[in-house]
Structure 1
């Protein structure tokens, strides 16, 4: 009888330890990842229907997520309102972080131009 109680007790103790270890561990977050939200708004129907728009949106999003200013931001979750329009054959994008309190942060305001065959460069305007 004592051996059954001892086995049952040790089994329960082991199960409790395993559950405690799983519950107390934190997920590993990639230090090279910063969550951002982008709210896109076309200033014209031509920009909204531009054949390169989807490709530009994807590439600009990827570029932003790799930018040093974004990765090193002290803001927990960056949320940008992004307006875009045509400038000649290119789409021009302007992103402004939604919280005015972050206005002086380097990542607050950015612009980017996207056109066929051009490399997209995101330019930060240091809160200007």
Structure 2
């Protein structure tokens, strides 16, 4: 009986703790691609800087915006920087960014841009407007 109870407990624990976690409530950005570094500004204040991603990995990176938003209309600017920390920009001609903005887990905006134009440094910039009640 003890063995059965232990096995039953293990199965129930596995079911409970293996459930996917819910994303943050409120406003957040989920980055799927960021080649090579992304910065997020809210109302002209830098609120997030990513690490420099080597290559173009698939991401699932959530950035919480809710704590930084004021009531009313907010400006959210996303910047993508192409190149590596050692400033060897000549070897990195391609850049890509793909992200989605959410409010309470509902998609409110989506962006996907890429190029092989050889742009180094600031390669992409876009401003979104978000209203917080």
The TM-score, its normalising length taken from structure 2, stands at 0.33
More strand by share: 2
More helix by share: 1
Q: Which has the higher contact order (CA 8 A, sep 6+)?
A: 2
